[in-house]
Structure 1
Amino acid sequence: MRTNIRHVVFLTVLGICYLLCNARLPFKPRDGSLPFLVYFPSRYRGLCVGTLVSRTAVITAAVCVTNPTIPIRDTRPINVITAATYRHPRRGIRVQVVKIIIPNLHNVSTPNKGYLMQKSPAILLLKRKVPDVLAEIPLRALDIDYKGEEVLSLQEECLIPGWHFFYKGDKIYPVHKFLLQRNVRVQFLNIVKKKMWCEALTMKFQKALTNLGFIGYFDTTACVCIRDPDRTAQPCHVSYLLRAIAPRHASLDIASIDGRPNHASLACLPCQALSTNYRNRIL
């Protein structure tokens, strides 16, 4: 009799689990997380960030995966890493890239080709699906302030998706870690001290990448500096992904890293290779 009761209980629990698994709600990321971000080592830019547009495709900047001055396509393997909030050799899930789609610029002159490649996206097709608990389902479209109408006030707290190095005092540490998201405060945006602050950080950042073995090209035409509240992670970007998600009244409902829910909009900052920008265009 007891055996039959156990069988009935087991079958009941199994049936409930089956119904829940097949009728589950769309996956929602935990507060303060950006599950659609991935990163990968770039032979041309040191480290690059991309955005999942599906469970088998990543969109990133074309300059991260190709060199417009070399006619031969780079076919060496690339692995993207997802499910990590910072770069570390033993963290995240690695997925191999099997195909790279970039704009066809063969008939464009070399100087113009380089300029257009700086502004172009690339699609990375993955060998296998990213687990559904990591790829946000359904994907969110992000409202982007293309015209720069959102004004960030000094010391306003924002969430920065991208990649940033750990920095404190005159030391960049540790060499294997880069943040992928961080709560920071706007500082020296359109202020004359930008040169004194940003250029010093940029030089430290370039030296740190050189120590890691990167021998590629550094674009020094533009940079944006944003201050971390506790000064342990100073993002100072050149032409890499940078978006500030600021607490505003907008349609996108997102939470800050400390768990407090916010309404957010994207403030457009002057960087060139913005894969979040490209992600929004195709959704």
Structure 2
Amino acid sequence: MIRIDNTNNPVVIEQLLKNSLCPGACFVPGFTREPFKARPGSLPFVVYFPSRYRGICVGTLISRSAAITAAVCVTNPTSHIHDRRPINVVTATPYRHPRRGIRVQVTKILIPNLSEVTGYRQYLMQKSAAVLMFKQAIPDVIAEVPLRPIDIDYLGDVQLTLQQECFMAGWHFFYQGDKIFPVHKFLLQRNLRAQFVNTAKKGIWCEALSLKFQKALTNLGFHGYFENTGSICVRDPDRSAQPCHGMYGSTLVCEGKAVGMMMAPDAQWTNCTGFSNIIHLFSSKYLKDFMTCISRLFDVETSFDWKYLKQSLYEDVSLEEYDYVPVVYDKLIPNLKESSSNEYET
């Protein structure tokens, strides 16, 4: 028997198993899928922006001058009147700080042409994507982390199977033992984090979330048929944490492509303790026309190799560094090695 200490890196463990370094059983103490600090530069396609409807939302680059996010982050599902004040997307940094990253103005927002029927529009809005068009592309020379888009699987090329390993990235995860505040407040972390999750049976692990989603939409006036084929269920097998508030618009990345997105906030708030999520797929039938239309905007310069992408997420496993005090997320441990980048306003 071989004992493996001082690593929570599933890629390292997978390599050990494949290389027959564990001919018998391996005891891996403390190995969980808890969210971890992603290596700076390993997720160049992730951006974020303040949302007037959802606090903070995540975006995913489809080109150097456009990002895809959740429609609920930029529109009001209950009203046809939209807030048209400027939106600035923070790019080129994994560190959430007012003086880090490059802020670029959004000049146009593309959303699906939704039905005007009361209730049905709210239903579609909850599980639809939107595209943010930037004022300009960000040159690599001034970027802390050069922007690189990721391929969006809107054709359904990635064949998802039961217990398939994927990951999500963002700045808020609900940990075991955390409390849900009585009002819609949540604590964000500073560093971009990633978490590996598995696809699971929706009827077992996401049934409660599905019922809450249906109830939330019924309260908004929708009384029609809920289509379930356009979404999947993902979960943390260890129930240690899950992507939650502040992660709307975060994509699920499988096989090196973004296959779906966390889009339904009206069902997520009270489900943070469930350690499962419903992810709406980009290849869904109701998004087919919209995704086909915006696909001309996709400008993927290079495809992400899935194995390399997973390996690149990790820091040196010999270093035990934490960027937050677990009890209070926004209390940081100073890191003198980090340097701030210049702010770039457009």
Give the TM-score normalised by structure 2.
0.46
SS of 1:67's partner is coil
Q: Per-residue displacement from partner, 1:245-276 (whole Å, max 9, x unpaired)?
A: 45x6xxxxxxxxxxxxxxx466668423869x
1:157–1:124 Cα change, 3 Å = closer
Relative to structure 2, which stretch is displaced further, 221-230 or 59-68?
Answer: 221-230
Contact 1:84/1:91, CA 8 A, preserved across alignment: yes
Structure 2 counterpart of 1:141, which letter? D
1:92 aligns with 2:101: yes
Aligned to 2:337: none
Contact 1:163/1:179, CA 8 A, preserved across alignment: yes
1:184 aligns with 2:196: yes
Contact 1:144/1:265, CA 8 A, preserved across alignment: no
Q: CA deviation at 1:82?
A: 1.6
Q: Structure 1 unaligned runs (5+)?
A: 1-29, 203-216, 249-263
Aligned to 2:167: 159
Give the TM-score normalised by structure 1.
0.54
Q: CA deviation at 1:66?
A: 1.0
1:135 to 102, 124, 147: 147
1:191–1:32 Cα change, 3 Å = farther
Decide which structure has greater strand share: 1
> What is the percent sequence identity of the aligned residues?
45
Structure 1 counterpart of 2:79, which letter? I
Structure 2 counterpart of 1:111, which letter? G
Two-structure CA RMSD over aligned residues (Å): 4.6
Q: Per-residue displacement from partner, 1:89-110 (whole Å, max 9, x unpaired)?
A: 44322222233233455x7222
Q: Distance in 1 between matches of 2:53 and 2:124?
A: 16
Structure 2 counterpart of 1:151, which letter? T
1:63 aligns with 2:75: no
SS of 1:44's partner is coil
Q: Structure 2 unaligned runs (5+)?
A: 1-38, 213-219, 221-225, 262-277, 299-346
Q: Which has the larger radius of gyration?
A: 1
Q: Distance in 1 between matches of 2:202 and 2:63?
A: 36
Aligned to 1:54: 63
Aligned to 2:335: none
Q: Per-residue displacement from partner, 1:92-144 (whole Å, max 9, x unpaired)?
A: 22222233233455x722222223333443232223322335222xx442446
Contact 1:241/1:271, CA 8 A, preserved across alignment: no
Aligned to 1:113: 121
User: Number of matched residues?
Assistant: 211
Aligned to 2:160: 150
Q: CA deviation at 1:75?
A: 1.1
